[in-house]
Chain A
């Protein structure tokens, strides 16, 4: 990964402290982005086998980028803005994450370690194992400091609460604004737009709405939902809002809820899919579009329109795209010439990706050198809040995803709970926007 020469820096040049070493960073960008741009690939060691890990999803949906930050354990560096002098430490390694003695566990147990049955009932060995396991378990040490007293949790009330400021949520917000409905929209990123800003663009993507076109203070960014709860006053969203002085917990009571949180980047299972240098496709497009960081040479693997769009995006910005392996096929129009249908992907490298191989359909195994393997599969719907609220979730075996069941207007099995966009199983941004607009109309009573 490198910074693109033509990218204009989005913030001040600063340094952060990585275990005593000063690393150049850009103020305000995710510190994980600064680290990989500076060539740091190993962020931590994994919990059991002590495998090297680097940032993967850039969406707080995995655990690869967790570090100790300013004395706090298990911090998502993919979501923590870089600040001058911030202290970063790698976790779960001895003596260091680069040379970790416990890496031997990974080599000793090539077929895995069965903690249920290993040494079970073997005198002495089981006691020793229990002691060792206790010391090896856990990720990170206690925080250095006590937490401050947090500001009082705040109560908000509106007719409608919308979760997610991507294509679906924004189209809904536009519809709600036009109908003069009272609503709040919560977007967990710093800027609204979702995949329209962070994904690989598709030709028919709608434009990103202007935040100023919505009622003032009713679209909140850096605010993520953690639960859809009930209490004596009714149903409410618990939202963590990142304010300049720290996080605050909001309770948002509403008559109707529209959930458009999109999906999580999925970890597709293949050999060494956790090797540093492996990134989710959406992470790669985010790094390129928002922060001007991209691989020198990349291999892409996955399926769906975004896979091929990502290939085009990277190539247009100077990345050498060495392979685009479509695990499902057939190849769509607009696929890069290097693209092929294939199977059995595998990442190669000792502590970071140096190569990628796959089985070409009807042909031989192909291996290409690269510094990044980018996995682009349809995002895995974030159905959790909807399921908490009583919506039905089913497994779509064809797409390989859990999806929230809804009618064409986004109505779910739970009263007053609507969904739109990727949460119902994907589609393009244009389709998500159409679903959001329809749901807004239905919520306001325009459709029966």
Chain B
């Protein structure tokens, strides 16, 4: 059948690019994500200029608004085994990293239409939290909402995570939120008309130390109490689930078959398209520059495209939240921490669950497209909004992965990238009203698991905002707890 291919690695046609442009995905990063062009074996070498030329010819953007998507090392597919040959000094903190992501996006990308001068609700942050909240507000009749996003949709952590969704948590609140989220994910395509490719292959957690092994055992009892069918499994059972797993140094493993992986980007597109249909505004490439505050209330949100008067402001800017909060002279205890991640060549399915070594934070799964996607936190990572990629990460990850899954040594890494966890002192979120600034609502601090919690958190937040009914979530996780000292720590953090 006659087709004009523009990205032959992923079979993306000229028609597909035009379709993305017609949906409003016009910048190169967004077109890449929506169509998948440039995500295959060649990583855009043969296609990117042609896509840019098509955008320049038919889209609304002109250079300098047409920029290449951020190139992700390695330049050529490179085997995990080779990366594992690089020695790492665990005593040193990781530094720098390339490429440095754009701190600000060029003004040429800014929408030219005027911003609304007022709105009932302004949501700062067009990640999954903010967009899910906007969607849930609309279900409850509130559509006078503006969502502000500093970049393209998926530019923040919502577009950079591994797509894992799990009910295996260490606290009842998180277990219940995750359960509800996964239920909502199951009906997402029905509600919003876009596939999110939920695949419940389970989460296999492994513990290498006694303390962590005991934590897994303790959690299984808690999970079962909340109706989550987690079980402690033997080494043989683990190998049956993931053939070839060595379980080297592993003392215990737990498995919940109902956990899974999803395709994260589609959530943002689904929510955003819904909001636009309802007449709500999703303003990308728009920076918040300040607030007008009087009488203990935020009156206006200032942006680089003008001010918006509003009744309520929601801060859902993930790792950028402390920076934004400071503009309102509010100190959040959150700290951004870089977490790196990589993706390999796509292979036919061979790993069912997401596998994680809880002690080191190593995790990996196989995406719907067949890539091994995984990461591992670095205990030496300093705080800061750094999204550069390091060789140190790929080396550490490759070594840790090959220890558990040696048959993938020849598998080639296609790209690596980084995102920021939004870390709080107790690994739990910051939700609810801001003390002293009543109409500034907090919705941040999700420590790398915001994506999977968003559908449920946003549902409760919208209900709470619209009805004013009491919901313990917004008291339990209120900013006040960091001064009053009632902290309940979540220990099931990976990545």
- Contacts from A to B (Cβ < 8 Å): 46-49, 51, 53, 56-57, 60-64, 66, 72-74, 106-107, 110-112, 114-121, 123, 126, 129-130, 133-135, 137-143, 145-153, 224-232, 238, 240, 247-249, 251, 264-274, 346, 380, 382-385, 387-390, 393-397, 400-402
Nearest-Cβ distance from residue A442 to partner chain B, whole angstroms = 23
Complex-state Cα separation, A225 to B78, whole angstroms: 11
Report whether A72 and B14 are in contact in the complex, using a CB–CB cutoff of 8 Å: no
Report whether A227 and B407 are in contact in the complex, using a CB–CB cutoff of 8 Å: no
Given contacts A150-B84, A230-B96, contact A141 B406 (CB under 8 A): no
Contacts of A117 in B (CB 8 A): 193-195
User: Does B114 touch A at the CB level, under 8 Å?
Assistant: no
Complex-state Cα separation, A225 to B52, whole angstroms: 25
Complex-state Cα separation, A270 to B410, whole angstroms: 35
Report whether B8 and A146 are in contact in the complex, using a CB–CB cutoff of 8 Å: no
User: Does B53 touch A at the CB level, under 8 Å?
Assistant: yes
User: Does B436 touch A at the CB level, under 8 Å?
Assistant: no
Nearest-Cβ distance from residue B85 to partner chain A, whole angstroms = 4
| Of B59-67, B227-235, B446-454, the one with at least 4 CB within 8 A of chain A | B59-67
Report whether A48 and B75 are in contact in the complex, using a CB–CB cutoff of 8 Å: no
Determine the main DSSP class of B at the interface with A.
loop
Q: Considering only CB atoms, which chain B residue lies closest to A138 in the complex?
A: B370
Given contacts A62-B8, A147-B81, A240-B82, contact A138 B347 (CB under 8 A): yes
Given contacts A117-B194, A137-B370, A397-B63, contact A63 B9 (CB under 8 A): yes
Most chain A CB within 10 A, of B75, B76, B389, is at B75
Most chain B CB within 10 A, of A49, A110, A138, is at A138
Complex-state Cα separation, A267 to B3, whole angstroms: 13
Contacts of A53 in B (CB 8 A): 8
Closest 4 CB pairs of A and B: A138-B370, A147-B409, A230-B96, A147-B81
Report whether A267 and B189 are in contact in the complex, using a CB–CB cutoff of 8 Å: no
Report whether B189 and A120 are in contact in the complex, using a CB–CB cutoff of 8 Å: yes
Nearest-Cβ distance from residue B255 to partner chain A, whole angstroms = 20
Given contacts A383-B68, A394-B63, contact A47 B346 (CB under 8 A): yes
Total contacting residues, chain B, CB less than 8 A:
97
User: Does B10 touch A at the CB level, under 8 Å?
Assistant: yes
Most chain A CB within 10 A, of B194, B199, B410, is at B410
Report whether B99 and A387 are in contact in the complex, using a CB–CB cutoff of 8 Å: yes
Partner of B408, one of A107, A135, A142, A400: A142
Report whether A74 and B412 are in contact in the complex, using a CB–CB cutoff of 8 Å: yes
Contacts of B62 in A (CB 8 A): 397
Complex-state Cα separation, A266 to B80, whole angstroms: 28
Write 10 A-B pairs (CB below 8 A) sorted by A numbering.
A49-B1, A56-B8, A60-B42, A73-B347, A112-B15, A112-B16, A117-B194, A138-B347, A150-B84, A153-B86
Report whether B98 and A388 are in contact in the complex, using a CB–CB cutoff of 8 Å: yes
Report whether A395 and B67 are in contact in the complex, using a CB–CB cutoff of 8 Å: yes
Contacts of A397 in B (CB 8 A): 53, 56, 62-63, 66
Q: Considering only CB atoms, which chain B residue lies closest to A141 in the complex?
A: B348
Among B96-142, those with CB < 8 Å from A are 96-100
Report whether A230 and B45 are in contact in the complex, using a CB–CB cutoff of 8 Å: no
User: Does B4 touch A at the CB level, under 8 Å?
Assistant: yes
Contacts of A110 in B (CB 8 A): 1-3
Complex-state Cα separation, A46 to B89, whole angstroms: 42
Report whether A140 and B45 are in contact in the complex, using a CB–CB cutoff of 8 Å: no
Nearest-Cβ distance from residue B324 to partner chain A, whole angstroms = 26
1/0 per residue, CB under 8 A from A, across B405-443: the answer is 011111110000000000000000000000000000000
Report whether B347 and A387 are in contact in the complex, using a CB–CB cutoff of 8 Å: no
Complex-state Cα separation, A137 to B56, whole angstroms: 32
Contacts of B99 in A (CB 8 A): 387-390
Complex-state Cα separation, A133 to B392, whole angstroms: 34
Given contacts A120-B189, A272-B3, A402-B49, contact A227 B73 (CB under 8 A): yes
Report whether A272 and B2 are in contact in the complex, using a CB–CB cutoff of 8 Å: yes
Nearest-Cβ distance from residue A50 to partner chain B, whole angstroms = 9
Complex-state Cα separation, A124 to B190, whole angstroms: 12
Report whether B5 and A274 are in contact in the complex, using a CB–CB cutoff of 8 Å: yes
Report whether B82 and A150 are in contact in the complex, using a CB–CB cutoff of 8 Å: yes
Complex-state Cα separation, A110 to B92, whole angstroms: 55
Complex-state Cα separation, A153 to B190, whole angstroms: 51
Among B357-416, those with CB < 8 Å from A are 368-370, 388-392, 402, 406-412
Report whether B95 and A121 are in contact in the complex, using a CB–CB cutoff of 8 Å: no
Report whether B41 and A142 are in contact in the complex, using a CB–CB cutoff of 8 Å: no
User: Does B487 touch A at the CB level, under 8 Å?
Assistant: no
Contacts of A268 in B (CB 8 A): 50
Report whether B411 and A130 are in contact in the complex, using a CB–CB cutoff of 8 Å: no
User: Does B171 touch A at the CB level, under 8 Å?
Assistant: no
Complex-state Cα separation, A134 to B366, whole angstroms: 10
Complex-state Cα separation, A396 to B67, whole angstroms: 10
Report whether A395 and B6 are in contact in the complex, using a CB–CB cutoff of 8 Å: no
Among B206-258, those with CB < 8 Å from A are none
Report whether A137 and B87 are in contact in the complex, using a CB–CB cutoff of 8 Å: no
Complex-state Cα separation, A56 to B46, whole angstroms: 10
Contacts of A153 in B (CB 8 A): 85-87
Report whether B46 and A51 are in contact in the complex, using a CB–CB cutoff of 8 Å: no
Complex-state Cα separation, A155 to B13, whole angstroms: 43
Report whether A49 and B11 are in contact in the complex, using a CB–CB cutoff of 8 Å: yes
Report whether A273 and B5 are in contact in the complex, using a CB–CB cutoff of 8 Å: yes
User: Does B269 touch A at the CB level, under 8 Å?
Assistant: yes
User: Does B47 touch A at the CB level, under 8 Å?
Assistant: yes
Partner of A73, one of B68, B74, B345: B345
